[in-house]
Structure 1
Amino acid sequence: MAAGTGLAALTAPLVTPAPARAAQHLWRWCFQCSGLWFSGNGGNGYCPLGTGLFGWEHPHRSAGSGDYVLRFVDEPGAGQASWVWCRLCSGLWSSSADPSHRRCPTGSLPGGRHDFVNSGHYKLEALPDMTNGPGGQAQWFMCRKCAALFFAGNGPQGVCPAGGSHEHQAGVGFEHVLRQV
């Protein structure tokens, strides 16, 4: 009862919004293939360069990489929402690319397909809508041959699982900006 009114105090229950899913960090740049791969599963994925000690290992190498953060498609904010993780190679690939251009370097599945089972769906910032502001690094592109995300800012374009170096066409597609922790 409220003091002096004789009426019971009415209170509405507190409603708290569901917590937004946190962005995912532990994405790394591989200095061998120039691709982006997820390092949070305890392994080093599968790099198309294959520089393992005995020639049969293909670990990504992340020396010199930052800790990149990717947002999920259900998080607020703009971005290109067509990116998925392959559980075989740990790389980030465009799900909107022609399936014949998506090539997993492991070669484990028929036709060189990736395995996107249990993948989150990610969105990436793209220029000119986004800025290369604090924590941002531009010059990330989708390879037109294999549909991987790769960094083109170091000169050599890395090793593409479709053969040769990764390629992007100027003026075609998006230049992405990745953020670091």
Structure 2
Amino acid sequence: MPHDHDAGRLSRRRLIGGTLAASTTALGAAAFASAAPAVAGSSAGFRWCNRCQGMWFRSSGDSGHCPVHHWWDHSHYEEGSGTYWFTDGTPQPGQDRFGMLALKWCLTCKAAYFSGGRGVCPNNENGHTPSARTFRIETDLQPPLSNFPKQGGWCRCRRCRALFYLPHLGRSHCPAATGPTPWHDGAYVRTGSGWRYENHLPRLK
């Protein structure tokens, strides 16, 4: 895949606009709710962090380590988040298998990230520490999609591998970012109509 600086053909505004058209539900639309217990088959323990704009796993006993932090506070913040849920690699009888089996959460920072590499963790120089469970995430890159309520506009960061909310790119914070802006570097794909950001669709309770 080409990089953001290649050949001027990739306008951040155009890419974001194409992905926004696929977004379905505002982040604050779903009321805050406590996470369901994590059991084999599915988990509703995932939340959006309003500081770094990433998805994180809040059902692990602590608030993790957000890349946006002060020395006295490195917690992910879940205020305003909906309740996100995913199925895992050991579905219960009759459970659906929509989506790609690719999402893990980091045992150190609690970020939800894409497997296939350890990425960059803000609290572990060796990268993300993978959860035992791997979860399925629906994406328009791999149809068909289920009929469950979903939210579009989520993307994979090419540097740290985290799942983040693309419409808030300018407020996002990647632990691997360098230069004047700390933003995530969204992954993109080429389609018949040109280049666009990946669009992943976590399920909403």
Question: What is the TM-score when the length of structure 2 is the normalising length?
Answer: 0.66
Q: What is the percentage of aligned positions where both structures have the same residue?
A: 27
Gaps of 5+ in 2: 1-38, 191-196
- Where in structure 2 are the equivalents of 1:1-181 lying within 5 Å? 21-51=40-70, 55-75=71-91, 76-97=96-117, 99=118, 102-107=119-124, 111-116=125-130, 118-127=131-140, 129-131=143-145, 135-163=149-177, 164-171=182-189, 174-181=198-205
Preserved CA contact (<8 Å) 1:132 1:138? no
Deviation at 1:26, TM superposition (A): 1.9
Question: Which structure carries more helix by proportion?
Answer: 2
> What are the superposed Cα offsets for residues 18-62 of structure 1, whole Å, 9 maximum, x if unpaired?
xx94410020000111111111122111100004xxx24300011
Query: In 1, Cα distance between the equivalents of 2:136 and 2:86?
Result: 7
> What are the superposed Cα offsets for residues 51-95 of structure 1, whole Å, 9 maximum, x if unpaired?
4xxx24300011110010011023332312122111111111111
Q: Which has the larger radius of gyration?
A: 1
Query: In 2, Cα distance between the equivalents of 1:154 and 1:45?
Result: 21
> What are the superposed Cα offsets for residues 133-163 of structure 1, whole Å, 9 maximum, x if unpaired?
6521011111011100111123525100102
Preserved CA contact (<8 Å) 2:86 2:203? yes
Preserved CA contact (<8 Å) 1:87 1:119? no
Q: 1:178 to 1:138 in 2, by over 3 A?
A: same
Preserved CA contact (<8 Å) 1:86 1:119? no
Question: What is the TM-score when the length of structure 1 is the normalising length?
Answer: 0.74
Query: In 1, Cα distance between the equivalents of 2:64 and 2:41?
Result: 23
Gaps of 5+ in 1: 1-19
Moved over 3 A (4+): 130-134
